[in-house]
């Protein structure tokens, strides 16, 4: 089976990025969200990104126009009926994702391959709830999808081998690097990353060091591009609470319990970079100021 038409269900930051990298690789893309505002914003954001690439002479104006001509933004799930592959990129909520795949099961051809961009939820749970069986696979892209090379490819005991191969080949066609992982909450990256981020928050709360020193220590000492608290702000503190809660429920390991200091920030509306405030003040995104917790 050859993938020609790709559907994306859910147009937040991840869905928008997945739609863009699919366009860049020559696919026809049907991008769907029930919120017309999100559809419009996604289309505008993708075009803005392509215009930036034109200014940098990475693509020609003609290539930008040709790529945009392969994008269709819609609010009805029925628009996905002829897609060869549909990637769900909705909020990290099992009930929401279940409803999406139940709809896709009714709408799409029995040859359509389904993928979830979930970062923490079990693919097996989605299969059990939706009856999608061997044609549902996990494709966990990383934020932002237009930059990050890694995609976790998640298989279950029911995943069809041919579906797995097609999904993996699709990832490679996007100039991404697939890594195979079994189905367990958090998969590889988030299962290992979450305790690291939470340990940094707990160290801050315990007065081990301030925000700046914790981040500098880990960035300079371990060769990371940024420290754990700044990375947490970029991911979104509300997202980390949601993901940590899912991991804690799965493994019953206190390392995954969201730290109180993060919960308090989120309660105040400080969710990180996207809200302008978290462990840093992001009023000037190029020069974030570490928050004092003394």
Catalytically active residues, by annotation: 119, 140, 152, 190
- Kindly compute the dihedral angle of the four CA atoms of residues 226, 229, 232, 233, in this order, to the nearest 10 degrees: -90
Query: For residue 85, what are the β-bridge partners?
Result: 6, 113
Residue 32 near residue 76 (C-beta atoms within 8 A): yes
Helix axis angle, 211-222 to 228-235, nearest 10°: 100
């Amino acid at each position: 089976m050859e993938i020609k038409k790709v559907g994306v269900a859910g147009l937040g930051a991840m869905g928008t990025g997945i739609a863009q990298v699919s366009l860049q690789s020559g696919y026809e893309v049907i991008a769907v969200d029930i919120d017309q505002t999100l559809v419009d914003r996604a289309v505008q954001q993708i075009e803005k990104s392509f215009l930036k690439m034109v200014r940098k002479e990475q693509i020609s104006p003609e290539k930008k126009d040709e790529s945009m001509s392969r994008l269709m933004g819609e609010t009805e799930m029925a628009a996905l009926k002829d897609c060869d592959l549909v990637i769900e990129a909705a909020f990290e909520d099992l009930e929401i994702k279940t409803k999406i795949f139940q709809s896709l099961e009714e709408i799409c051809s029995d040859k359509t391959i389904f993928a979830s961009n979930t970062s923490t939820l079990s693919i097996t749970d989605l299969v059990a709830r939706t009856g999608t069986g061997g044609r549902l696979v996990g494709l966990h892209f990383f934020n932002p999808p237009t930059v990050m090379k890694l995609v976790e490819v998640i298989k279950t005991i029911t995943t069809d081998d041919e579906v797995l191969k097609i999904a993996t080949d699709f990832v490679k066609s996007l100039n991404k690097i697939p890594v195979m992982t079994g189905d367990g909450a958090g998969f590889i990256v988030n299962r290992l990353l979450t305790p690291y981020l939470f340990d940094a928050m707990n160290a801050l709360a315990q007065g081990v060091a301030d925000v700046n020193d914790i981040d500098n220590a880990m960035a300079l000492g371990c060769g990371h591009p940024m420290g754990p608290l700044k990375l947490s702000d970029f991911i979104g503190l509300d997202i980390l609470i949601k993901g940590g809660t899912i991991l804690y429920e799965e493994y019953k390991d206190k390392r995954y319990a969201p730290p109180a200091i993060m919960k308090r920030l989120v309660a105040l509306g400080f969710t990180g970079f996207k809200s302008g405030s978290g462990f840093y003040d992001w009023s000037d995104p190029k020069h974030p100021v570490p928050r004092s917790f003394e």
